[in-house]
Amino acid sequence: MRIQELHQSLADIGARPCHIGRINRAWLKGLPLDTGTRYQKGEDYFPLSVRHGLPPIVAQVEGLARIHSQHTAVDGSLRLLVALGDGQMVESVLLPRDGLCVSSQVGCAVGCTFCMTGKSGLLRQLGSAEIAAQVVLARRIRPVKKVVFMGMGEPAHNLDNVLDAINLLGTDGNIGHKNLVFSSVGDPRVFERLPQQRVKPALALSLHTTRADLRAQLLPRAPRIDPVDLIEQGDANARQVGYPIQYQWTLLAGINDTQEEMDAIIRLLKGRYGILNLIPYNSQEEDSFQRPSSERIDAMKRYLHDSGVLTKIRDSAGQDIDGGCGQLRARAAGVVDTSRLRKRVSAQPPE
């Protein structure tokens, strides 16, 4: 369901824009749709036709998404396996410090070789109301002041729905615009559309390597943009919207944690308006890809930081509870295959 369809249903029962705004705000706080304010009860504000017409709409909205299971991690994050109306499942993660990571698609067409979600391909798009509903469910558990679109799916492949959800969250959802973070593998439409929005989100770009050949292997169906050009476009976007860009780098031992990569990162990112997030891979024993040692991760961070690249280590939330994107859903669906792909992926550049 799209947010516009919800608004049309409300208009059809006689709700005017002011009523729709109040219903949006109540919904996005996780409250009943007909909640009034401190000074005015719902029954004193909404016209009779709205009060009588609301119950089937409430049922429809409540049916968009429900929590199938919750998994608490030692780092304070809480992973939610969310069942959609048709039984498909996505993951949302409540992060420490009032953040929430949401999904934008069931599955994903990009097929990153280190990602469980990518293994299933794209199953379906989420409607904008289903994306917002993940925030509603999370806010019924604890406050959400930041929403990152880094869960299942490539947000740029569901651009209109994601931008509609961002627009609602940045207005009636009361989330600061720079606290809405759109993540992409570098779809050109993102650079064109994001700066035009009324609510301009921050941008995170999945870089993972400075080598075009390795990037094509790790992200097989991402747009073939040379990492050098990707960084140029990212930098231009950051300066346009006024918030630093986040470059995402999933750390894979022996693949993209090499000295050559670090030196190339310094050449490309030093002095840029951005942050490099090193995300150590969430490996399991039998995985082909492995997480570098803690000593290696710390040494990388120090080296990059000391060389003028603002670098942070971001562990994927909930390491102890299938913390990688799509692992919970895969387990629930019985499709966990931990013999991950490392086909044709090599740390060595071609001759």
For residue 217, give both structure tokens.
């292997």
Characterize the bridge pairing of strands 146-149 and 122-125. Answer: unpaired
Exactly one of 42, 99, 118, 324 binds ligand SF4 (CB under 6 A); which one? 118
Instruction: State the catalytic residues.
Output: 91, 325
CB of 112 to ligand SF4, least distance (A): 3
- 153 sits near ligand SF4 (criterion: CB under 6 A): yes
Which CB, 109 or 347, lies closer to ligand SF4?
109
Exactly one of 91, 154, 172, 322 binds ligand SF4 (CB under 6 A); which one? 154
CB of 110 to ligand SF4, least distance (A): 4
Q: Which residues contact 324 (CB under 8 A, 6 or more apart)?
A: 115, 116, 281, 282, 316
- 152 sits near ligand SF4 (criterion: CB under 6 A): yes
Q: How far is 80 from 87, CA to CA, in rounded Å?
A: 15
Name the one range near ligand SF4 by CB under 6 A: 54-62, 69-77, 113-121, 128-136: 113-121
Which CB, 115 or 166, lies closer to ligand SF4?
115
Which CB, 99 or 151, lies closer to ligand SF4?
151
- 115 sits near ligand SF4 (criterion: CB under 6 A): yes
Q: How far is 116 from 107, CA to CA, in rounded Å?
A: 9
Which CB, 173 or 234, lies closer to ligand SF4?
234
CB of 215 to ligand SF4, least distance (A): 12
- 147 sits near ligand SF4 (criterion: CB under 6 A): no
Residues linked to residue 105 through DSSP beta bridges, in sequence order: 125
Site residues, ligand SF4 (CB under 6 A): 108, 110-112, 115, 117-118, 152-154, 185, 325
